[in-house]
Amino acid sequence: MIELQEPTTSVTRRAERTPNERAAARVGPPPAGEQPAMLLEHATKRFIVGRRKKSVVAVNDVSVSIRRGEIYGILGANGSGKSTLIRLISTLLTLDGGRIEVHGHDVERDEMAVKRLINRVSVDAAFFKKLSPLENLAYAAGLYGLEPKSARAQAISILARLGIGEKRLKRPLEQMSRGMQQKVAIARALLTSPTVLLLDEPTTGLDPRSKLDVQTFIEEVRDTHDATIVLTTHDLAEAERLCDRIALINDGRIVAEDTPEALKSMVAELHGQEPTLESVFMTFTGRSLDDDHDDDKTDDED
């Protein structure tokens, strides 16, 4: 069983509650007095781009409160600010305005404490590709100060749960499929027992089988451990399956936020649209997923 680190304040482990209690406890913003797992208040990030030094607002006045144990989805087109938001929470970018707290720790003032509580899986599995999964995970364990022997046993156990057998553990990662690499990335993140797990498009580019494996594993983490998960994705079915609440982000702003069911009902009632997440996406971002793919091409060409 994967051992996740307790947050700094005492909590009841999710596994000790019934599924209904867990579901009820995680949906919606935290009630008054309950410390959120993550709090963003007016978070703003600008970049200066191009030769003309144009200022672009990547994240614009975003305020979000996420409950402990919640899976919070962020949907948006390419370039909408999803990954920037994840990087701000990960301490990889500094804020230009507002603040972000993880379990009460400010990401700027208390950076090291936040780093110990979080981990991130990015769309591109960032590894030393010549090293094996075990060597990469040993490096990760060392960086987080884990005891080498128990970390190794833990790594083997998590990788086995994700379908990566012992015979693959010593082969270079570059010889593994992208799906396998992404599973190793998730294993690496879980190894450090984060209380907040940031999943930035973790299933993008995976084949259906690998995608299903990863999604099932995320559900297992949600159901058995006290981890809060922030998930960005382009896969609407995935968002619907996994997320307790979804925020739609467009041009750096959160334009809608609620449970998947409530968002679907909203577009059906107010706009007479089909009660699907695709309708929700198109209504709030003003574009279809096909437009999004066209943007991909344009980005590549640029």
Partner 1 sequence: MTIATRELRASYAFVQRNFNLTKRYWGWEVAWLVYSLAAAVAVAFIGVAQDDPDLLQVLVIGTIFWNYLSIVFGFIGETVTWERWEGTLEYTFMAPVRRYTQLVGSTFFAVAYALIQMLIILGAMIFFFDLEFSGGNFVTAGVFILLGSLSFVGVGMMAAILPLLYVERGDQMVFVIQSIILLFSGVYYTTDVLPEWMQFVSQFSPGTYVLEGVRGGLIHGQSVTELLHNVWPLVIMGVVLIPIGVKVFGIAERYAKRTGKLKRVG
Pick between residue 55 and residue 216 the one whose CB is nearest to partner 1: 55
Scanning 144-231, the segments in alpha helix (DSSP H) are 148-161, 178-191, 208-224
Is position 47 an interface residue for partner 1 (rule: CB under 8 A)? yes
Site for partner 1 in 102-121 (CB under 8 A): 112, 115-116, 118-120
CA 249 to CA 140: how far, in whole Å?
A: 31
**Residue 129 carries which DSSP code?**
T
Is position 39 an interface residue for partner 1 (rule: CB under 8 A)? no
In the list 39, 74, 77, 93, the residue contacting partner 1 (rule: CB under 8 A) is 93
Residue 144 is which amino acid? Y
Is position 129 an interface residue for partner 1 (rule: CB under 8 A)? yes
Is position 21 an interface residue for partner 1 (rule: CB under 8 A)? no
Residue 9 is which amino acid? T
In the list 3, 21, 34, 124, the residue contacting partner 1 (rule: CB under 8 A) is 124
Piece in contact with partner 1 (CB under 8 A), picked from 142-150, 213-221, 257-265, 271-279: 142-150
Site for partner 1 in 219-258 (CB under 8 A): none
Pick between residue 146 and residue 162 the one whose CB is nearest to partner 1: 146
Helix (H, G, I), strand (E, B) or coil at 169: coil
In the list 1, 15, 143, 153, the residue contacting partner 1 (rule: CB under 8 A) is 143
Query: Shortest distance, CB of residue 216 to partner 1, whole angstroms?
Result: 25
Is position 128 an interface residue for partner 1 (rule: CB under 8 A)? yes
CA 41 to CA 219: how far, in whole Å?
A: 28
Phi, psi for 42 (deg, rounded to 5): 55, 35
Is position 130 an interface residue for partner 1 (rule: CB under 8 A)? yes
Helix (H, G, I), strand (E, B) or coil at 124: coil
In the list 15, 92, 160, 237, the residue contacting partner 1 (rule: CB under 8 A) is 92
Is position 170 an interface residue for partner 1 (rule: CB under 8 A)? no
Scanning the chain, the segments in alpha helix (DSSP H) are 19-26, 82-89, 111-117, 133-143, 148-161, 178-191, 208-224, 236-242, 260-271, 277-285, 289-301
How far is residue 266 from each of residues 74, 140, 254, 262, measured CA to CA in Å? 18, 43, 16, 6
The sheet that has 38-49: what strands, in order across it? 54-66, 38-49, 97-102, 105-106
**Residue 72 carries which DSSP code?**
E
Is position 94 an interface residue for partner 1 (rule: CB under 8 A)? yes
Is position 48 an interface residue for partner 1 (rule: CB under 8 A)? yes
Is position 67 an interface residue for partner 1 (rule: CB under 8 A)? no
Is position 195 an interface residue for partner 1 (rule: CB under 8 A)? no
Is position 270 an interface residue for partner 1 (rule: CB under 8 A)? no
Binding site for partner 1 (CB under 8 A): 47-48, 84, 87, 90-94, 112, 115-116, 118-120, 122, 124, 126-131, 135, 138-148, 172
